[in-house]
Amino acid sequence: MPPKIVVITGPTATGKTRLGVLLSRRTGGEVVSADSMQLYSGMDIGTAKPAEEETEGIPHHMLGVISPFESFSVSRYVEMASECIDGLLERGKKVFLVGGTGLYIESLVSGRVFAPAEGGEEIRRELSARYDSEGGEALLRVLAEKDPETAARLHFNDKKRIVRALEVFYLSGKTISEHDKESRTLPRRYDALKIALSFEDRADLYRRIDRRVDEMMERGLEAEVRSLIEKGLPPRSTAMQAIGYKELAAAIEGKYSVKEAVSIIKQESRRYAKRQLSWLRRDPEVEWIYWKKEPDFEFAVQRSTSLMEKYGIISA
């Protein structure tokens, strides 16, 4: 049987960090982040990285572990996070995987094995240059010869996925479709109790998101973005694509005002929350906790504790 862990997830601004801290304190557990942007160092305000006073002394792992100048992937996250979780489990700790990046959570819990990525940088550059010179339709035809199943799902404008699919084939001799099928037959890495937080009324969620964006600006998000730019972080880097950072970077470049940037950040954050909800609702295993106007953490702790007892993670 795979080891048991607890996942606390949900759309942005729903109180995941707070619930993770409360449950960890009650059970002697520790938190492992499942947020794709909280991984980066120096990006604290805009990613809602929990401050020291918010963690209340509960160890939080996978926060600020890489430089924003580094490239990162879900496969590397799975490698790092699974090593971290396994170490905690060996020490007898309860593990709370807390965050809203659904792909990271699903890939980690499922035990997914990824197609090769290491050593592919040169091939990737060559394929990218070939895409630019020959065009997407030509490279998609090449992919159709190697991996017709994947090619049939892609549009010729989808440069990233076409290049990745060809890269995988040239590195491994297998299609990305074959890698995905093999991955789905593997046993789960963890037996996860999945608890998701949201609001009964979507309007209350959106109001909370808007309020948090305003709080981020008050805490100095614009200065944080300026600092990253001054350090030479490229505008097109993965880290700078985080919501809040790319919009303020554009405002700093003069494309629009900071006030307009804040409005866009709120809009994009609401859209992101909607995508997170859509992702989670595909999963029948998720146990939902719905807030009314504001989070009720006393109720959430009671409900989560009951679920953990039922799941055999803690004793009744």
Strand 60-61 versus strand 30-33 pairing type: parallel
Interior CA angle at 264 toward 260 and 268, to 5°?
175
Q: Residue 283 belongs to a domain with what CATH number?
A: 3.40.50.300
pLDDT at residue number 74: 84
pLDDT of residue 187: 86
Average pLDDT rounded to a whole number, residues 277-283: 96
57 and 29 in one domain?
A: yes
Residues 158-189 pLDDT 10s: 888 898 889 888 888 888 888 777 767 778 99
**Residues 10 and 93 both lie in one domain:** yes
Residue range 67-91: mean pLDDT, rounded: 93
Beta bridge partners, 60, equal 31
Return the sign of the alpha-carbon dihedral for residues 50, 73, 75, 107: positive
Q: Which domain holds residue 160?
A: 121-184
Residues 100 and 190 in one domain: yes
Do residues 266 and 217 make contact, with C-beta atoms less than 8 angstroms apart?
no
Mean pLDDT confidence for 261-273: 98
DSSP lists the bridge partners of residue 98 as 8, 33
Query: Is 259 within the bounds of a domain?
Result: no
Please state the rounded mean pLDDT for residues 252-262.
97
Is 175 inside a domain boundary? yes
Identify whether 53 is part of a domain.
yes
Look at residue 69 and tell me if it is in a domain. Answer: yes
130 and 91 within one domain: no
**C-alpha to C-alpha distance for 25 and 61, rounded to whole angstroms:** 15
pLDDT interval class at 256 (50, 70, 90): very high
* Domain shared by 141 and 106, yes or no: no
Q: Are residues 132 and 90 in the same domain?
A: no
Shared-domain flag, residues 90 and 14: yes
Q: Are residues 35 and 132 in the same domain?
A: no
**Tens digit of pLDDT for each residue in 10-55?**
999 999 999 999 999 999 999 999 999 999 999 999 999 999 999 9
> What is the pLDDT at residue 117?
55
- 86 shares a domain with 30: yes
Tally of structural domains, the chain: 2
Residue 194 CB contacts under 8 Å (≥ 6 apart), including other chains: 7, 9, 283, 285, 286, 287
Instruction: Answer yes or no: is 84 within a domain.
Output: yes
Q: What is the CATH number of the domain that holds 138?
A: 1.10.20.140
Please determine, for residue 120, whether its predicted confidence score (pLDDT) is greater than 70: no
Q: Is the domain of 167 the same as that of 296?
A: no
Mean pLDDT (the chain, rounded): 93
In a domain, 239, yes or no: no
Q: How far apart are CA 11 and CA 4, in angstroms?
A: 23
In a domain, residue 290? The reply is yes
- In this prediction, residue 42 carries a pLDDT of 96
Clarify whether residues 108 and 32 are in a common domain: yes
Give the predicted TM-score (pTM) of the model: 0.86
Residue 115, pLDDT score:
61
- Taking residues 132-160, what's their average pLDDT? 92
The whole-number pLDDT of residue 119 equals 56
Q: Are residues 38 and 166 in the same domain?
A: no
Domain assignment present for residue 67? The answer is yes
Separation CA 14–CA 273 (nearest Å): 10
